[in-house]
């Protein structure tokens, strides 16, 4: 059995999809969370200086989406064929576009520029994406793609707290299909077990 060690800041954010999939698989893993002040000493040993990093049998692998896709396929959460994989990939990449738009506001170090971005983000971009995602889930029988649970759904639900945290409101609350998807994923026994035992963090 391979060993898994996940290294990240003490938050959910981009590591949580990997934690969700490993938990879904029933796979034990070391959930190493370092403090912010440790980051400068850890950063140089990480490929391309970023985390999350998952070590599989000591091999350091980075990139949250690539890892969730890889593990998701092992967990039986991939598409049934290349076309279905494409639909999952499209949904997740679009989620990243949305996250990038939110992050572009949230992480703006310049207060004036940040303030300027807030109104169009909140009144246009955010409702646009959430409505479209809600429709997508409705069209796909309650999932992001192919009418079936995939690693894309786990990705979405796992990062939804991060998105809600940056936006300061629950992104699923007003969108019944997104809300139902989130509830459904959180009710999966292995995910439920993970949620119960994971450390409490804001994001």
Q: How far is the CB of 66 from its own copies (least distance, A)?
A: 4
| Buried b or exposed e, range 90-127, using 16+ CB within 10 angstroms | ebbebbeebbebbeebbeeeeeeeeeebeeebeeebbe
Contact between 53 and its own copies by CB under 8 A: the answer reads no
Tell me how far, at minimum, the Cβ of 23 lies from its own copies, in Å. 19
Binding mask 98-137 for its own copies (x = CB under 8 A): --x---x---x-x-xx--x-----------xx--x-----
State which residue, 83 or 199, has the beta carbon closest to its own copies: 83
Nearer to its own copies, 43 or 192 (CB): 43
Pair 128, 122: CB distance under 8 Å: no
7 belongs to the binding site for its own copies (CB under 8 A): no
Least Å from the CB of residue 180 to its own copies:
21
Q: Rank residues 41 and 48 by Cβ distance to its own copies and give the closer one.
A: 48
User: How many whole angstroms separate alpha carbon 193 and alpha carbon 48?
Assistant: 33
176-186 and 126-139 helices cross at what angle (nearest 10)? 70
Taking the C-alpha atoms of residue 201 and residue 36, their distance in angstroms, rounded to an integer, is 14
How far lies 73's CA from each of 21, 69, 79, 151, in Å?
10, 6, 8, 8
- Give the footprint of its own copies on this chain (CB under 8 A): 47-50, 61-63, 65-67, 69-70, 73-74, 82-83, 85-86, 89-90, 93-94, 97, 100, 104, 108, 110, 112-113, 116, 128-129, 132
């Amino acid at each position: 059995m391979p060993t898994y060690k996940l290294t990240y800041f003490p938050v959910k954010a981009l590591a949580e999809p990997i934690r969700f999939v490993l938990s879904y698989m029933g796979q034990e893993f070391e959930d190493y969370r370092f403090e912010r002040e440790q980051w400068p000493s850890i950063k140089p040993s990480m490929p391309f200086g970023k985390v999350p990093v998952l070590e599989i049998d000591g091999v350091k692998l980075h990139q949250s989406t690539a890892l969730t896709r890889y593990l998701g396929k092992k967990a039986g959460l991939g598409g049934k064929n290349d076309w279905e994989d494409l639909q999952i990939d499209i949904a997740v990449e679009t989620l990243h576009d949305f996250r990038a738009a939110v992050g572009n506001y949230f992480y703006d170090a310049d207060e004036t520029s940040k303030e300027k971005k807030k109104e169009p983000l909140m009144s246009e971009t955010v409702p646009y994406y959430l409505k479209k995602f809600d429709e997508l889930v409705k069209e796909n029988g309650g999932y992001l793609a192919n009418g079936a649970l995939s690693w894309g759904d786990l990705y979405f639900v796992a990062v939804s707290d991060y998105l809600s945290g940056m936006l300061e409101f629950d992104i699923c609350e007003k969108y019944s299909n997104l809300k139902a998807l989130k509830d459904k994923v959180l009710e999966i026994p292995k995910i439920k077990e993970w949620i119960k035992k994971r450390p409490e963090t804001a994001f």
